[in-house]
Amino acid sequence: MRPTSAVFRPLSHRVLTGAGVRYARNVDPASHRVLTGVGVRSLKPNHMHTRGILSLKDHVYFSKAEASGAGRNGTVKSFGDSPLELKMSMPKTAGGKGDGQNPEQLFAMGYSSCFLGALQLAAARANKKELAENAKVTANVFLGHPENPDIDGFGLRVEITVDGCPDDAIIAEAHEFCPYSRALKHGAEVTVTKA
């Protein structure tokens, strides 16, 4: 597949200021310098903010899952129409036994499925439904250490590959519409409470 704008489009940078979040279109990620109307201003990495928050006015569905046991080596179960329970395990390459599923597998499965649905919807809206009927979407989710040495633990990188749909505009539209893509691009509301 040829690279498309959906895969390689750069994210816009936003700079957190005292007055809120504003777009900074000319950001050099290496030096964290912003070209402003009065020249170049330097920013420390912890002042960079590359996404905002997409909030919901309502919901049409919600999913509930519960983790218990030894964290990434425990169990997870979902509730609802078709409950699922899985044994979790750190991958062997990350020092685990690899004898169960891991969150990255589940995330990749959800993202690829959701993106395929968005792709087929985008094709139907463009009156080109046949272009995405036999498409396949692969999500590669990478678990690794952040480049920023001030961030401890792991981070994720995602690569989406679309096979069987040659239309770059439809792929780009699917990337804009897919809720997983939106969550990663725009952010999602996350509330942590104590039960």
Instruction: Return the closest-CA partner of residue 47 out of 65, 22, 68, 69.
Output: 22
DSSP code at position 152: -
Q: d(Cα 26, Cα 66) in Å, to the nearest integer? A: 42
Residue type (1 letter), 6: A
Nearest to 167 by CA among 129, 139, 138, 112: 129
**What pLDDT is attached to residue 53?**
87
Tens digits of per-residue pLDDT, 125-171?
Answer: 999 999 999 999 999 999 999 999 999 999 999 999 999 999 999 99
Q: What's residue 51's pLDDT? A: 53
Q: Virtual CA dihedral for 112, 144, 184, 106, nearest 10 degrees?
A: 40
pLDDT band (50, 70, 90) for residue 52? confident
To the nearest whole percent, how much of the chain has pLDDT over 90? Answer: 71
- Determine the average pLDDT of the residues in 103-123: 98
Which residues make beta-bridge pairs with 96?
none
Best CA proximity match to 139, nearest among 173, 168, 169, 163: 163
Nearest CA to 165 among 136, 140, 139?
136
Domains of the chain: 1-50 (no CATH), 52-186 (3.30.300.20)
In SS3 terms, 169-188 reads as HHHHHHHHHCHHHHHHHHCE
